Amino acid sequence: MSSQEKAQWDLAKFLTTLDYFGEIPFVGSFRWVQQLLGKNPTVPGVTMSAVKKAVVIGDRTSDLFNSLQSQNLSSADLIFYPLASVPATVATGELSQLIRAADTVIVLAAPAASTLAADLAVYLGETASVEQTIFDFSKGDLSAWGELDDVVMGGVSQGSFFLRDQSAVFAGSVSTENSGGFSSVRTKNFDPPFSFSGWRGLRLKVKGDGQRYKLILRNNDGWDSPGYIHSFETTADAWTVVDIPFDELVPTFRARSLPDAAPFDPARIVSLQLMLSKFEYDQRLNPQFTAGPFQLVVSDIGAYRPRWGVPLVAIAQDKAEYERLQAALANAPVDYRLIEPGREDLLGAITQALA
């Protein structure tokens, strides 16, 4: 790029960024002024409960279905899903989201329970962890997020965050001119913070461009507070599931690691940030960085943890169905429990399987 073609510092974007986040870098916050003007400078976080959950699939007219709904059988939260609403492929739609968030799926006595249980066994074998969505971009809401580029320090990189095909797209162009070299999107501060006590980490579903990106989390509401960082690779034009374990986050401040920093606190997440940067930290360069155009597509962001207890419990309607269940689940890729028909302590058997 010739000297005449060099990009100019974007004053308008600089002011837009300051106004969105209510912060002047290296000076301080003016969010109190925004509040006086009727603006909302923060967004609410949520306490994400890690309590054990179970999805109960059955005929809503059956006595067993109604008995389970009316009794507190265990410490698990029971979520009831009508058999008539089960899709042809269980890994789609609302049911798939419920299963992803559950420790156990219970199939109540019903015709063709063996077929449903076999389908669920395959799906549960592919999802060994419990996942709860935080940001589902298919819902079309980007209100918590704003662009934050090196324009705040005089750079000329340009990034944007927009919706396309039920996903969020973080795209633009990164330039190293004017000592710049990063583009990012960051949430407003969460007030109250998100709490992920009991969860192992965050999970992103992304389609990248082959570059290496960062996820940055903060425990402090200060704009320039230390960030806890995890870098992740992407594959060009391919969807990838990226796990960010909380215990592998690296505390940093202005691209320098902080070995004496307090451990990351998952019970107090004040903001999230996705970034493409020339730098890693401690003067190391991003080995996958290329200046110029970039694109990272994100379908959703969620919290994950190991599944607790038995993934699949199936109750047979009769002896013949019990035998079909045995055959269908003989080589199931997950642990399961079969409960034979006619047991007098049927509710107790289900409670025991959930323990």
pLDDT 10s digits, 265-281 = 999 999 999 999 999 98
When pLDDT is averaged across residues 248-257 and rounded to a whole number, the result is 92
In a domain, 143, yes or no: yes
Give the pLDDT score at 2: 41
Give the pLDDT score at 1: 43
Please check whether residues 247 and 175 belong to one and the same domain.
Answer: yes
- Higher local confidence (pLDDT), 7 or 100: 100
In a domain, 213, yes or no: yes
Please check whether residues 148 and 287 belong to one and the same domain.
Answer: yes
In a domain, 161, yes or no: yes
Query: Distance of alpha carbon 338 from its chain centroid, rounded?
Result: 32
Please check whether residues 241 and 347 belong to one and the same domain.
Answer: no
Please check whether residues 293 and 313 belong to one and the same domain.
Answer: no
- CATH code of the domain covering residue 344: 3.40.50
Neighbour count for residue 38 (Cβ, 10 Å): 6
When pLDDT is averaged across residues 25-30 and rounded to a whole number, the result is 76
Give the pLDDT score at 139: 93
When pLDDT is averaged across residues 231-237 and rounded to a whole number, the result is 96
Q: Where are the alpha helices (DSSP H) in the chain?
A: 11-21, 31-36, 63-70, 93-100, 113-126, 319-329, 346-354
In a domain, 184, yes or no: yes
| Cα–Cα distance, 6 to 254 (Å, whole number) | 26
Is the distance from CB of 57 to CB of 204 less than 8 angstroms?
Answer: no
| Domain interval for residue 277 | 136-305
Please check whether residues 240 and 290 belong to one and the same domain.
Answer: yes
pLDDT in tens, 35-54: 776 777 889 999 998 888 99
pLDDT confidence bin for 73, thresholds 50/70/90: low
Quick one: angle between helices 319-329 and 113-126, nearest 10?
A: 30
In a domain, 5, yes or no: no
Whether residue 160 has pLDDT greater than 80: yes
Is the distance from CB of 252 to CB of 263 less than 8 angstroms?
Answer: no
In a domain, 179, yes or no: yes
Q: Residue 185: which of 214, 221, 227 has the closest Cα?
A: 214
Please check whether residues 150 and 230 belong to one and the same domain.
Answer: yes
Please check whether residues 284 and 162 belong to one and the same domain.
Answer: yes
When pLDDT is averaged across residues 249-264 and rounded to a whole number, the result is 93
When pLDDT is averaged across residues 183-199 and rounded to a whole number, the result is 96
Count of domains observed in the chain? 2
pLDDT in tens, 110-140: 777 888 999 999 889 887 899 999 999 999 9
Please check whether residues 70 and 215 belong to one and the same domain.
Answer: no
- CATH code of the domain covering residue 267: 2.60.120.430
Whether residue 4 has pLDDT greater than 50: no
In a domain, 95, yes or no: yes
When pLDDT is averaged across residues 301-310 and rounded to a whole number, the result is 93
In a domain, 192, yes or no: yes
Please check whether residues 119 and 173 belong to one and the same domain.
Answer: no
What percent of the chain is modeled with pLDDT above 70?
96
Please check whether residues 228 and 116 belong to one and the same domain.
Answer: no
Where is the domain boundary, 287, 305, 323? 305
Please check whether residues 150 and 273 belong to one and the same domain.
Answer: yes
Please check whether residues 141 and 85 belong to one and the same domain.
Answer: no
Lowest mean pLDDT among 16-20, 304-308, 325-329, 343-347: 343-347
| Cα–Cα distance, 18 to 256 (Å, whole number) | 24
